[in-house]
Amino acid sequence: MFCNTSKEIGGMGHGLKRKEDARFLQGKGHYVDDVKLPGMLYMDIVRSPYAYAKILNIDATKALEIPGVLAVITGRDLEKYNLHWMPTLMSDTQMVLPTDTVMYYAQEVCAVIATERYIAADGVAAVEVEYEPMKPIMDPHKALDPGMPILRPDKGKTDNHIWHWEAGDREATDKLFANADVVVKEQVYIPRIHVASIETCGCVADFDPVEAHLTMYMTTQAPHAIRTVIALVAGHVGLSEEKVRVIASDIGGGFGGKVPVYPGYVIAIAASVLIGKPVKWIEDRMENLQADSFARDYDMTCELAATKDGKIQGLRIKTLADHGYTDAAANPSKYPAGMFSICTGSYDYGVAFTEMDAVYTNKPPGGVAYRCSFRVTEAVHAIERMVDRLALEIGKDSAQLRMENFIKKEQFPYHSPLGWEYDSGDYGPALQMAMDIVGYDELRKEQAEKRKRGELMGIGICSFTEVVGAGPSKDFDILGIKMFDSAEIRVHPTGKAIARFGTKSQGQGHETTYAQIIAQELGIPAEHIHIEEGDTDTAPYGLGTYASRSTPTAGAAAAVAARKLRDKARKIAAYLLEVSEEDLEWEVGKFYVKGAPEKSKTIQELVFAAYTNHPQGMEAGFEATHYYDPPNLTFPFGSYICVVDIDPETGSIKIRRFVAIDDCGNIINPMIVQGQIHGGLTQGLAPAMFEELIYDEDGNMLNGSFMDYLVPTAVESPSWETGHTITPCPHHPIGAKGVGESPTVGAPPAIANAIIDALSHLGVTHIDIPITPQKVWNILVEKGVIEAV
């Protein structure tokens, strides 16, 4: 229905050059860092060299003596205006600037405002801060031990426990496990990683003291939510919401890391308000890695129960989550653990229980949904590792075990044992397609032959079910704001349109996708539809782009808004053609009279009539707005197969083939989907084999730059092979489900399963990601395959 040919796709374009030219003519560049405003000042931030320390004194005398340094702002300065603390998205609080204690390495301590960026950096170097270091809590397992420092006494805490969450039937699950034929158990750790976007975070805060109006140019995925948070934080000093405008222009990647409100934003606002001039803050790469919101950091005790022949019967998972010094996770309010309860996966069984405890430590705050729908990556990794573990335990092929346990097509909508209602699915064909493409049976024969020769080859599978499209207002909100989304369509008299959305693209191609949806619904050519996002003064209120929610929510809003306009066009057509509405047929782009197709009116003619010759009593114009509140989430799925070869002398790992079959419901634009999948697979490769934030026992980050934090490049990325099945979502207006995060969710366990499969005959049952050559080499030495040098 929505698939276009390559020629048609290529002909639409994004209009980026036109928008870029316009911005530069106005003195506002393509990205936030390009924004230049008259009299603009620059901000840099002094950051803590300690993970946990008392601040004894901040001496800014030398900094203020530098020509061009105008001010140094401390937590004590902000405290005078009650701006030194702010709310997090999970209803916790975090420091904007500390008044007495720093809580993690690279935390903001104070800010320097200067006339030039490099002068501000010189000012930062000249600020002298005296600390009294304390012993930090870096191990979440020790955070609750007696005698440990209480990190958040401001919360009335007597320990470092944040919350306990659970889902499922504990009693029934425990009983099942006590009587199961087979129980497999593994400790699965997913380490802390970082989104590492091309563009770091930044903003320009421009406060107009005459109008008492703030304009924020910033790298945010959720402009309206940020505006509301600014009003909540600073409303008491006059920045009420109608006086705040947030503009997010083009963004170089977000992946969840640009959803939160960072202290740098608030400090820049405070500086602009206090000084009365625009203030720019752009963090550098090391600041971005060391202090911004992290992802993952889940330690999971996973158990799977089954019969002797491999019928899965139950799942039990207990998780410890390290949230750093404050719970700033980007999750819906009612879901402190996000969508982790999707951990039952793609399999049909009736009993499950999962519980989680979150603790404070002296690490940066956060818990962003790094290109996944609120902790789905961790959930999928847990179940897909355990299914492979069960296959190894009972000696059954891992593909066969999955096929035998999949939820069947006729069982949908399917109610999972942890409370989700899966909308639709057909899992077997997706896995079979991946097996056929990769030549699965022949690969297994090749593997057996290679093992006889001492060669190491592995085949890994991940058959995942995702949950995206947050979310239905009955369950989903952030800071109390329901997670609907919006679209406003205005069609001008000549039949050209502008459509505005509450989402914000960071490279997903919204300009193309949204235009195609409206074009399909109304018949206006996509190249005649201008798409606009990211400006709170013009766009309808929305909750932004993350968790693969753009097409499931805003795309649906566009379709419904377009159908409202089509209904109006039908009334106008009936008036102009002098027939009843029931006598009209719709063909994309026009209405015609049943049985007399020569009597018709195009959408362009009908739009013009809406301004010039509409029925008496009808409201003029051709505009519609819709706020879409989905009845349920959407559940895209897929099956990935990875084939690896391991050098038994060095432990180096080569991904020979990787086949990814995705099902995201109806596909709007194949090229956009392919781009999302290829990028997502590379981001899934990253945590599987490369990325991990490492701290020592004193809280120092040991790999806080790209010299040490490994991000895969085109050199390390294999040639991804992709395909798809189509299982439409039954409740979505156009049957779409969303795909942006599926590959990041599915790739890590597929790669991990392949590497572990290559070593399984040596007695290896699990390796925590990232699985590096060093880890593999150590295992080969331990197993006696090679001798240590």
Query: What positions carry a catalytic annotation?
Result: 221, 371-372, 741
Instruction: Classify the C-alpha dihedral 260-262-265-270 as positive or negative.
Output: positive
Q: Which residue has the tokens 């092929």?
A: 397
Pairing of strands 414-415, 596-602: unpaired
Q: List beta partners, residue 208.
A: 213
| Structure tokens, 378 | 């961790």
Q: Which amino acid is residue 108, in one-letter code? A: E
Q: Which residue has the tokens 């499209």?
A: 469
Rounded to 5 degrees, φ, ψ at 518 are: -65, -40
Sheet holding 279-282, edge to edge: 69-74, 108-114, 41-47, 279-282, 202-208, 213-218, 244-247
Q: List beta partners, residue 101.
A: 54
Q: Chain centroid to CA 43: how far?
A: 28
Cα–Cα distance measured from residue 384 to residue 766, given in angstroms and rounded to the nearest whole number: 12
| Structure tokens, 745 | 């969710």
Cα–Cα distance measured from residue 434 to residue 95, given in angstroms and rounded to the nearest whole number: 48
| Structure tokens, 597 | 């197709």
The C-alpha angle 363, 364, 365, rounded to 5 degrees, equals 115
| 3-state secondary structure (DSSP) of residue 555 | helix
Cα–Cα distance measured from residue 352 to residue 312, given in angstroms and rounded to the nearest whole number: 11
8 Å CB contact between 12 and 527 = yes
Cα–Cα distance measured from residue 641 to residue 570, given in angstroms and rounded to the nearest whole number: 49
| Structure tokens, 128 | 């002298």
Q: By 3-state DSSP, what share of the chain in percent is helix, strand and coil, each rounded to 5?
A: 35, 25, 40
8 Å CB contact between 283 and 289 = no
Cα–Cα distance measured from residue 335 to residue 341, given in angstroms and rounded to the nearest whole number: 10
Cα–Cα distance measured from residue 731 to residue 549, given in angstroms and rounded to the nearest whole number: 15
Q: SS3 letters for 390-425?
A: HHHHHCCCHHHHHHHHECCHHHCCEECCCCCEECCC
Tell me which residue of 774, 541, 776, 751 sits closest to 659, measured CA to CA: 751
Cα–Cα distance measured from residue 382 to residue 375, given in angstroms and rounded to the nearest whole number: 11
Q: Chain centroid to CA 414: how far?
A: 25
Count of H helices and E strands in the chain? 19, 32
Cα–Cα distance measured from residue 92 to residue 702, given in angstroms and rounded to the nearest whole number: 28
Cα–Cα distance measured from residue 757 to residue 448, given in angstroms and rounded to the nearest whole number: 12
Rounded to 5 degrees, φ, ψ at 639 are: -130, 125
| 3-state secondary structure (DSSP) of residue 432 | helix
Cα–Cα distance measured from residue 589 to residue 605, given in angstroms and rounded to the nearest whole number: 10
The C-alpha angle 752, 754, 757, rounded to 5 degrees, equals 105
Cα–Cα distance measured from residue 26 to residue 23, given in angstroms and rounded to the nearest whole number: 5
The C-alpha angle 201, 204, 209, rounded to 5 degrees, equals 150
The C-alpha angle 192, 783, 697, rounded to 5 degrees, equals 30
